[in-house]
Amino acid sequence: MVIVLFGKPGAGKGTQAPRLAEALGVPILATGDVLRAALREGTRLGLAAKSYMDRGDLVPDDVILGIVKEALASDRFKGGAVLDGVVRTVPQAEGLERVLGELGRSLTAVLAFDIDDDEIVQRISGRLVCDVCQTPVPGGEVGAPCPKPGPTDGGHLVRRKDDEPEAVRTRLDVYRAQTLPVLDWYREHGTTVRTIDAVGAVEEVTDRALSAIGITPERAA
């Protein structure tokens, strides 16, 4: 099963990804997390992506498709994937189709999380993430240790640079101009696209997403 999580910045893709991945028994590929990890480690990929990410622009398609191709061809993803943050442009949709075709697989569905801009601004203005595992943490304080259950990952809560108001505005503009047309591309290519109401309790949104792909939450649990 290969699922694309689609939606505006702050729609809840990163919150839902681990919940859906656990229910479906497949790993997550989150391009934003891969890029932020590269940035933190100061690799060539991170340095190349930094200026795009800081101002809220998209990283070039060839960079993203390189990450996707390498990951999906690895053993870790041979049973499927939840793709968080890919696909964001039509060339990425075409590239993903090509990569999956080469691997003898196909996309199961696109889950499009639906939410209005006012709710996005409110969510993002309050968002802190762990600087190691990158999990969004509601209601935390900057500098507090990552509260993820289990052994500590040593991370602390930070505010993402691209969550500053100007970068958020750019990200929403970029979404409308470059990312939204991807949904029409998928519909025209016969891919299953399901719209999920992304407003409500996190658990409710998960249940809606699972139901949309024909999995009852009880069966998944």
Binding positions for ligand AP5, rule: CB under 6 A:
7, 9-15, 31-32, 35, 52-53, 56-59, 64, 85-86, 88, 92, 123, 127, 136, 138, 162, 171, 200, 202, 205
| Residue among 8, 19, 36, 88 flagged as catalytic | 88
Nearer to ligand AP5, 45 or 213 (CB): 45
Q: Is 19 a catalytic residue?
A: no
Asked about 160 being catalytic, the answer comes back as yes
Verify whether residue 78 is a known catalytic residue.
no
Residue number of the CB atom closest to ligand AP5? 32
Taking the C-alpha atoms of residue 209 and residue 220, their distance in angstroms, rounded to an integer, is 12
Q: How far is the CB of 138 from ligand AP5 (least distance, A)?
A: 4
Active-site option among 13, 19, 123, 208: 13
Q: What is the closest distance, in whole angstroms, from the C-beta atom of residue 136 to ligand AP5 in the complex?
A: 4
Nearer to ligand AP5 by Cβ, of 34 and 104: the residue is 34
- Whether 88 sits among the annotated catalytic residues: the reply is yes
Closer of 26 and 104 to ligand AP5 (Cβ): 26
CB 178 within 8 A of CB 89: yes
Tell me which residue of 108, 91, 115 sits closest to 181, measured CA to CA: 91
Name the catalytic one among 36, 123, 127, 208.
Answer: 127
In angstroms, give the least distance from the CB of 34 to ligand AP5: 8
Is the Cβ of residue 172 or residue 213 nearer to ligand AP5 in the bound state?
A: 172
Q: Are 90 and 185 in contact (CB under 8 A)?
A: yes
CB 142 → ligand AP5: shortest distance, Å? 13
Question: Has 159 been annotated as catalytic?
Answer: no
- Report the residue count for the chain: 221
CB of 90 to ligand AP5, least distance (A): 12
Residue with smaller CB distance to ligand AP5, 43 or 104: 43
The secondary structure of the chain as a DSSP string is: -EEEEEESTTSSHHHHHHHHHHHHT--EEEHHHHHHHHHHHT-HHHHHHHHHHHHTPPPPHHHHHHHHHHHHTSGGGTT-EEEES---SHHHHHHHHHHHHHTT----EEEEEE--HHHHHHHHHT-EEETTT--EETT--TTPBP--SSS----BEE--GGGSHHHHHHHHHHIIIIITHHHHHHHHTT--EEEEE--S-HHHHHHHHHHHTT--HHHH-
Catalytically annotated residues: 13, 88, 127, 160, 171
